[in-house]
Amino acid sequence: MSRLTADLVRERVRGTILEQIGNTPLIPLRRVGAGLRGDLWVKIESANPGGSVKDRPGLWMVLDAEEDGRLGRRRVVLDATSGNTGVALAMVCAVRRHALELCMPDKVSLERKRIARAFGAQLVLTDPLEGTDGAIREAQRRAAAEPDRYVYVDQYSNPANPLSHELGTAAEIWKQTGGRVTHFVAGVGTSGTIVGVSRALRPKRVRIVAVQPDDAMHGIEGWKHMPTALRPAIWDERVADEHRVMATEEALVMTKRLAREEGIFTGPSGGAAVAAAIAVAREEAGRIVVLIADGGDRYLSTPLWE
């Protein structure tokens, strides 16, 4: 059981860049959301200092390991990631003065490797054909081989991941909407966002909509096609009132519309979440909050913006 609270986290990071994690803006979609029954609002997680929603679990997982005594000075933080969590952990570990090793699939974009290395992380590149699941298996292998060396934070299994959203993201949404939020829409990757927000907002009668890619071969970075992927231990289908799927092509069209019509430069998962939320808003009235996980600048070297 984690000892972390929002107040304790705030206290531990006071006076550092990490104090700026969270309290991200909530913005209405005036154009792509026009003419729908529901009002669409997006929570812009690219406003976090590390550039993505992953700053939240990255910070909470490291602080949790510090608080319970697992993370002493000579131990190395370890996780598997293809991008944003790596950047978040690297930033947090730089400030908290921990060594960090990240297992990531080879041939992830150059900017991801460079950002993580810029913060001082060591990278372990794994077989690109195995994807993120291959990186997870390598992190598991290393943690098992040298348990005294590594603190494997394991974002897919770590309760501090959803806790950061339960006590952070969800509380902010409730406050920012004055308690008028009726739906929350987000994609499923580690599932930390949807699980944590659900715990806090579902008891307040907010309808939780979880979205997955429609195919194992997809381009929605950060999302998992659960039927074919390694299942995160923290994932529980029952946290959502509704499950939807999204095609990559539709997500990419919406990603471009968000930039050109709303001035919101997001990655494919942001477009995917908004496209799914539009489908919800066509059918149901209310104040629908959608989480946009990161910004488009993380994808400049991919074909998306060519």
Partner 1 sequence: MSVTIRLPGALRDAAGGETRLSASGETLRDLIADIDRRHPGFASRVLDEAGALRSYVNVYIGDEDARTRGGSGAAVPDGSEVMVIPAMAGGR
The smaller minimum CB distance to partner 1, of residues 132 and 182, is found at 132
Buried b (16+ CB within 10 A) or exposed e, 161-185: bbbbbbbbbbbbbbebeeeebbbbb
Q: Is 119 in the site for partner 1 (CB under 8 A)?
A: no
Q: Which of 150, 221, 246, 262 binds partner 1 (CB under 8 A)?
A: 221
Using left for φ > 0, alpha for ψ between -120 and 50, and beta otherwise, residue 26 falls in: beta
Q: Is 225 in the site for partner 1 (CB under 8 A)?
A: yes
Q: At its nearest, how many Å lie between partner 1 and the CB of residue 204?
A: 28
Q: Which of 22, 189, 196, 295 binds partner 1 (CB under 8 A)?
A: 189
Encoded one letter per residue, x for contact with partner 1 by CB under 8 A and - for no contact, window 125-154 reads: ---xxxxxx---------------------
Q: Which one is catalytic: 43, 54, 113, 224?
A: 54
- Is residue 43 annotated as a catalytic residue, yes or no? no
Q: Which residues does residue 288 pair with via DSSP β-bridges, in sequence order?
A: 40, 183
- Is residue 54 annotated as a catalytic residue, yes or no? yes
The smaller minimum CB distance to partner 1, of residues 36 and 226, is found at 226
Q: Is 229 in the site for partner 1 (CB under 8 A)?
A: yes
Strand order in the sheet with 150-152: 122-126, 99-105, 76-80, 150-152
**Cα angle 34, 38, 40; round to 5:** 65
Q: Is 180 in the site for partner 1 (CB under 8 A)?
A: no
**Cα angle 221, 222, 227; round to 5:** 105
Q: Is 85 in the site for partner 1 (CB under 8 A)?
A: yes
Q: Is 190 in the site for partner 1 (CB under 8 A)?
A: yes
The H-assigned helical ranges of 177-267 are 192-201, 248-262
Q: Helix 55-67 crosses helix 6-13 at what angle (to 10 degrees)?
A: 90
Q: Are 295 and 267 in contact (CB under 8 A)?
A: yes
Rounded Cα distance between 83 and 70, Å, is: 25
Q: Which of 219, 271, 295, 296 binds partner 1 (CB under 8 A)?
A: 219
Q: Is 302 in the site for partner 1 (CB under 8 A)?
A: yes
Which residue stretch of 26-34, 65-73, 84-92, 115-123 sits at the interface with partner 1 (rule: CB under 8 A)? Answer: 84-92
Which residue stretch of 40-48, 62-70, 103-111, 169-177 sits at the interface with partner 1 (rule: CB under 8 A)? Answer: 103-111
Rounded Cα distance between 86 and 88, Å, is: 5
Q: Are 240 and 226 in contact (CB under 8 A)?
A: no
Q: At its nearest, how many Å lie between partner 1 and the CB of residue 125?
A: 12
Q: Is 268 in the site for partner 1 (CB under 8 A)?
A: yes
**Other beta carbons within 10 Å of 14:** 9
The smaller minimum CB distance to partner 1, of residues 46 and 182, is found at 46
Q: Is 265 in the site for partner 1 (CB under 8 A)?
A: no
Backbone angles phi, psi at 247, to 5 degrees: -80, 145
Query: Which residues are catalytic, by number?
Result: 54, 269
By CB under 8 A, name the binding residues for partner 1: 54, 81-86, 105, 107-108, 128-133, 156, 189-190, 213, 215-225, 228-230, 232, 248, 252, 268, 299, 302-304
